[in-house]
Structure 1
Amino acid sequence: MPPFPTSSLQQARTALAARLREIRLDAGITSKELAQRCHWSVAKSSRIENARTAPSDADIRAWCTACDADTQAADLIAANRQADSLYVHWRRLQRTGLKQLQESSTPLYERTRHFRVYASHVIPGYLQTPGYATALMGTIATFRTTPDDVNQAVQARMQRSRVIHEGDHRFATLIEENVLRHRIGDTEVMAGQLGHLLSSMALPSMSLGIIPAQAPREQIMWPLEQFTVFDDARVNVELLAAKVTVTAPGELDIYLRAFTRLTELAVHGADARALIVKAIDALH
């Protein structure tokens, strides 16, 4: 993994490093003296101060103690943990199972008014049927060796998905046609899922577009990683190993522009329904 997977994380790390440097300078000590007081190498001090290495909670406490700035440690640790939340490995998020992750994201879904979702691998969670979600989460739990709470996690996901029926939420959803043919579960599960997509298109809150597999891309946008935009203020990107949270304005703009271009590739209405029906027919 590169030092900073996103510019949001880079900015957070750089700001923390700058604050630690200011604390050292205010204390009137050199990097060498700081290293001696903290009982670590000068190279480590340099890496932390230049944002090349993320400090641990213990590192921050030691730094503040060495600079007679213990009262600032708590705030700096909080900032450090917030930076950590911008790139989080799934094994950390799912170490106690899958249910807690579903429940922890519910407040974000409830307060978001405008969702923009691009699905390149699987059907978005809020459009999944219980059967599809069970098959998918079962695969995830096995692959990532998480505690087996799939049934409870599916219930939590279905509960979270109520947002498509309640309140004034709006969902602009783009799904790659290939996702319709990725076999998650058996034929019955996939038929039910694709049928649910068809019925969901009638929801007042839902705009559902399908990007045809044969759509020409060279002038517009290549297939990307799956991502969700929450109210133009935050993007969650799903990688194989981790979830990346994007909040930096410049980086947000990149995802918004990509979504706009992907929308140009998608078909809606009757044409989208035809592609879903075609995928259903292919199951038999």
Structure 2
Amino acid sequence: MLDSTLTGLELAGLAGWDNSKVSRYEHGKQTPTEQDIHTWCALTNAPLHVADLIATVRNVEAAWLEWKRIQSHNAQKKTAKVETESKLIRGYDPDLIPGLLQTREYATEVLRECIQFVGGPDDLTAAVAVRIERQQVLRKGMRRFHFLIAEQALYTTVGSDEIMVSQLEHLAAQVRSSRVALGIIPRTARFRAPVTNFLMYDVRQVQVETVSAELTITQPREVALYERAFQILMKQAAKGEAAREMIQIAVAARPT
């Protein structure tokens, strides 16, 4: 309403709402219905904002998921469903190897630490099994995958040196995969975008993990920002044999 000449009281009057309704919406004390969004935008001459606002409202209750649910095997199954429905899956991680590229031992250690950190349900075995099962999506259908990781992810110790060497060798094998594109952002790369870990499913949904929750983003203009960030990171990434060489250097740095 900032670009409109209407006051809150005038908007409420035109919409047939009680006088406090506009204020409750503006201060986030009440979630607007989709019909109210259409009404608001029509009266303030802002029809182009309807799609973004409705996407936001639909996502309010679903956006934040507790880590306790994220790491449970039921949540893993929900993620698997999104992956199955997607044709292009892209992601970036600054510290860890992406879940779809993890070995069983690496995944076990990651999930164990997460469960212990938040005190989630003790379903480690089931969660690991589903994560490994999810990896079948790499070999089925016509999907394409593009993962970017920061060089730090090659050195973050998960479990033990033995687990890390096995994981890095598995990662190196993916460099020559015809279905998976892998890029590694050198640690000396210039700062170009304020990003944390995220996964993009086609151009319709982005998942971002924080310390306490997972944020699911569907608002078109926000998804576009992650698309832009991915394109920036992709230009900075080492690919092909250059990426493979970086992985081999990380392997050689591990005690034998």
TM category (shorter chain) comes to 0.7 to 0.9
**Does residue 172 of structure 1 match 2:146?**
yes
- Give yes or no for contact 1:120–1:223 (8 Å, CA) kept in 2: no
Give the TM-score taking structure 2 as reference length.
Answer: 0.79
Amino acid at match of 1:283: R
CA contact (8 A) 2:68 2:120 kept: no
Q: Give yes or no for the alignment of 1:144 onto 2:113.
A: no
Provide the residue aligned with 2:128 in structure 1: 154
Match of 1:239 in 2: 210
Take 2:223 and 2:150, find their aligned partners in 1: how far apart are those partners?
21
Q: Provide the alpha-carbon RMSD of the alignment.
A: 2.6
Q: Distance between the aligned counterparts of 1:164 and 1:89, measured in 2? A: 25
Aligned partners of 1:90 and 1:105: how far apart in 2?
A: 14
Give the residue type in structure 2 aligned to 1:130.
Answer: R
TM norm structure 1: 0.71
Q: Is the 8 A contact 2:184 2:239 kept in 1?
A: yes
Opposite residue 157 of structure 1, the aligned amino acid is R
Which residue is 1:83 aligned to?
60
Deviation at 1:81, TM superposition (A): 6.7
| Contact 1:99/1:152, CA 8 A, preserved across alignment | yes
Corresponding residue for residue 276 of structure 1: 247
For 1:195, the aligned partner's letter is E
- Counterpart among 21, 24, 29 of residue 48 in structure 1: 24
Change (3 A) 1:277 1:169: same
Encode CA deviations 1:14-71: one digit per residue, 9 max, x unaligned: xxxx9xx98xx65xx745xxxxxxxxxx7xx67633352246xxxxxxxxxxxxxxxx
Aligned residues: 223
Alpha-carbon offset, residue 244 of structure 1: 1.4
Alignment CA distance shift 1:125-1:238 (3 Å) = same
Q: Which residue of 2 aligns with 1:214?
A: 188
Which amino acid in 2 is paired with 1:256?
A: E
Deviation at 1:240, TM superposition (A): 1.5
After superposition, what is the alpha-carbon deviation per residue over 1:157-194, rounded to whole angstroms, capped at 9, x for unaligned? 01111111111110111110001100011111111110
Q: Is the 8 A contact 1:201 1:208 kept in 2?
A: yes
Once the two structures are TM-superposed, the CA of residue 89 in structure 1 deviates from its matched residue by 3.8
Partner SS for 1:85: helix
Q: 1:128 aligns with which of 102, 121, 130?
A: 102
- Tell me what 1:227 maps to: 198
- Show structure 1 runs of 5+ residues with no match: 1-17, 32-41, 56-78
Asked whether the equivalents of residues 127 and 161 of structure 1 are also in contact (C-alpha less than 8 Å), the reply is yes
From 166, 180, 184, the equivalent of 2:158 is 184
Query: Partners of 1:194 and 1:93 in 2: how far apart?
Result: 28
Q: Rate the CA distance shift 1:46–1:135 in 2: closer, same or farther, 3 A.
A: same
Q: After TM superposition, give the deviation of residue 91 of structure 1 in Å.
A: 4.0
Give a deviation string over 1:233-270, Cα, whole Å, max 9, x none: 11111111221122222212111111111011101111
Q: What SS does the aligned partner of 1:260 have?
A: helix
**Alpha-carbon distance in structure 2 between the residues aligned to 1:250 and 1:187:** 42
Matches of 1:283 and 1:223 in 2, distance apart?
30
Describe how 1:89-108 pairs up with structure 2 within 5 A. 89-91=65-67, 93-94=69-70, 98-108=72-82
**How far apart, CA to CA, are the structure 2 residues paired with 1:47 and 1:245?**
27
Partners of 2:185 and 2:238 within 8 A in 1:
yes
Of 189, 204, 207 in structure 1, the residue corresponding to residue 178 of structure 2 is: 204
